[in-house]
Amino acid sequence: MSTLLMEKREGKGVGKSRILRLLRRAVEAVDHQRRVAIGKNRNVVLKQVAEEQFEETVESLSGALVPFFNEQGRSMESRLKKTSVSAKETAESLAKKIFDPREWDDELTNVALPPLAVGMAEAAVAHLLTFGIDVRKKKKKATSASAWVEENEEDWDSLVEAFAAMDVPLGILAEIPPWMQQSIATRLTESFQEDYWDAINDTTLGNAETVLRRGLAEGQSINEMATQLREYFLGDDESGKGFRYARARSENIARTESGNALNAARKDSVAQLQEELGDEVPMKQEWLSVLGNTTRASHANLDGVPENKSGMWILGGVEIPWPSHISLPPENRCNCQCTLTIAFGMRESEALRLIEESEERLSV
């Protein structure tokens, strides 16, 4: 029985203000239930879209990296055949003669940047579309890097130059608004300044040293070691469908970097929305875990947990702004498919309660 009806039967006087308060609470309760239901349905869609975009970006980035690593292998083989080996030659000194990691850093950036940029743009647009917000431009779609440069000279110049140099069509990148362009450019710049990217080519050098060390120990000739290098870096896998070294490394890098890039774009797109709406529409970004068979327990524990006052989450003792962030150790970063959603109407008190509950679950 409703509070209003009980008070009436008990003979209590019910003033107009009291009735309005009760009605307001009833409306708020119904609205809350409606928002919860809508949120659950939206999250199902978000998970599916996020998983599909993750796999698409992994495939695109991995496909771009395979030829890059193949070319490194060919280059080392060619240089080794032209190199003389002294009696005191070490694997380290010989590897440095045929491979300089820093010579490949710019090319790695140029190869990896386009698929990540496109993936970020698609992730940001799709994320907002899920909430009924379409930020895409409807006219003047640029179809080439040169057209983009002419129309957007003030926007993310370094990214545009990279695309123009490779004659990469911009597609959806030309449709997004300037603030989203700049956000993606900023995040990509931050990412490629990380030591992690240099370490990729350093790892190639280390792998070459391993092959050469074995060759020198066995007394192999230059041609024999060149053959070993080719087999290691360019050898086909058992199915004959590709280069196992290049494919394995490319997929590992792609599955590590894609989540970070896509979630950065999603986080920034909603942050812009939060800034524009201000306190008029309370909202919090929430962690959304896939909750699949391979989901790590610490990631599942954050499912439904909102960002704190600083817009961060704590995963494994590391404070991060989104899932798969580059500051995480490999065990919490690689192949993470968690994403983000929005809890409209969530206030700071409710967010704090949910955060505290997640921390209590970890302490049990």
Mean pLDDT within 128-145: 64
136 and 60 together in one domain: yes
- Whether 16 is covered by a domain: the verdict is no
- Whether 333 is covered by a domain: the verdict is yes
184 and 126 together in one domain: yes
225 and 335 together in one domain: no
Determine what percent of the chain is predicted with pLDDT higher than 70. Answer: 77
Mean pLDDT within 171-187: 84
- Whether 133 is covered by a domain: the verdict is yes
- The reported pLDDT for the residue numbered 162 is 53
pLDDT tens column, 9-35: 444 444 667 656 666 665 555 555 555
227 and 319 together in one domain: no
- Whether 115 is covered by a domain: the verdict is yes
Non-local CB neighbours of 239 within 8 Å, separated by 6+ positions: none
46 and 161 together in one domain: yes
> Which tokens in the block code for residue 343?
């809890």
> Which tokens in the block code for residue 272?
């812009």
Non-local CB neighbours of 314 within 8 Å, separated by 6+ positions: 320, 359
- The reported pLDDT for the residue numbered 249 is 94
191 and 97 together in one domain: yes
158 and 236 together in one domain: yes
Domain encompassing residue 310: 282-364
Number of domains in the chain: 2
- Whether 208 is covered by a domain: the verdict is yes
CA 124 to chain centre: 11
CB of 63 closer than 8 Å to CB of 119 = no
Mean pLDDT within 288-292: 86
pLDDT tens column, 317-335: 999 999 999 999 999 998 8
Binned at pLDDT 50, 70 and 90, residue 205 comes out as: very high
> Which tokens in the block code for residue 103?
């010579």
- The reported pLDDT for the residue numbered 155 is 43
